[in-house]
Amino acid sequence: MSVTQLLLADSRTLLREALKCAITRTSTIEVVGEACHFNDLSKHKRAPDVISLSRGFPPEGGVSSIPEIKKIWPTTKILILTDPDDLSICRSAHLAGCHGMVLLDCNLAEFATAVQSLHQGKNYIPTRLQEMMERPIKPRKADRTPMQSLSNRERQVLICLSRGMSYKQIAEKLFLGVKSIETYRARLFSKLNFDSKADLMRFAIDNGLMNPALEV
């Protein structure tokens, strides 16, 4: 069996390091590169066989990156790493053209199977995730607004972004790393279906987040 060349795309250094460490135990996969931001992909001149992509991959989120990755690397297969409670992300990734998905709680054997299946031209979605995705979508509660769907931290980052603060300024204010702020921004764009900064600003205005008296 030929060795599959894999690129790890995730903003979380710990997850990338853990995956690399685990992959050393298999002889069928070779990690040929890493990326913590979409812009890092341009540093890799040779297309990998497979790229593993997380939902929070900056700047716009993993799902939004799929069409662009397919443009620069048409032959590369895209594997999404996701949580079992992110069914909307899974459905969006499937529609965007990803070739496979695995849950973050999978073991090394299943991850390796997914990577190798994609390299062989097969799609891969674990049975458990396939069954979850095929369930009817439950209607949202009418009284649950988009703002109410945000965590407190997501709301703080949203307010800061709407005020024109830079990633560095937000990171210092919230005592977080710059990469974490990029991940929160990507999550907001994905969760609220933003396509641009203008969408973010419009949402902030409609929800009264531009009020300078509003505390973060």
pLDDT > 70: what percent of the chain?
92
pLDDT of residue 110 exceeding 70:
yes
> Of 62, 38, 67, 81, nearest to 191 (Cα)?
62
Q: pLDDT tens for residues 139-156?
A: 555 456 788 888 889 999
The answer to whether 72 and 41 are in contact (CB under 8 A) is: yes
Tell me the two tokens of residue 43: 């540093």
Identify the residue with better confidence: 210 or 74.
74
pLDDT of residue 192 exceeding 60:
yes
pLDDT for position 1: 64
| Domain chopping of the chain, boundaries | 4-134, 147-206
Burial of 196 (0-12, 13-18, 19+ CB in 10 A): exposed
Q: Among the residues of the chain, which ranges form H helices?
A: 13-23, 62-72, 87-96, 108-119, 127-134, 152-162, 167-174, 178-191, 197-206
Rounded Cα distance between 109 and 52, Å, is 15
Whole-number Cα distances in Å, 155 to 20, 57, 77, 188, 201: 33, 19, 34, 9, 13
| CATH of region 4-134, choose from 3.30.1360.70, 3.40.50.2300, 1.10.3720.10, 3.40.190.10 | 3.40.50.2300
Q: To which residue do tokens 């397919």 refer?
A: 70
pLDDT for position 59: 73
| Structure confidence at residue 216 as a pLDDT band (50, 70, 90) | confident
pLDDT of residue 129 exceeding 90:
no
Rounded Cα distance between 193 and 171, Å, is 23
- Average pLDDT, stretch 160-167? 90
Q: pLDDT tens for residues 85-100?
A: 677 778 778 888 899 9
pLDDT for position 183: 92
Identify the residue with better confidence: 50 or 44.
50
The answer to whether 52 and 115 are in contact (CB under 8 A) is: yes
> Of 45, 89, 63, nearest to 9 (Cα)?
63
Gyration radius of the chain's alpha carbons:
18
pLDDT for position 100: 93
The class (CATH top level) of 147-206 is mainly alpha
Report field, pTM of the whole predicted structure over 0.85: no
Identify the residue with better confidence: 109 or 211.
109
Same fold, 4-134 and 147-206: no
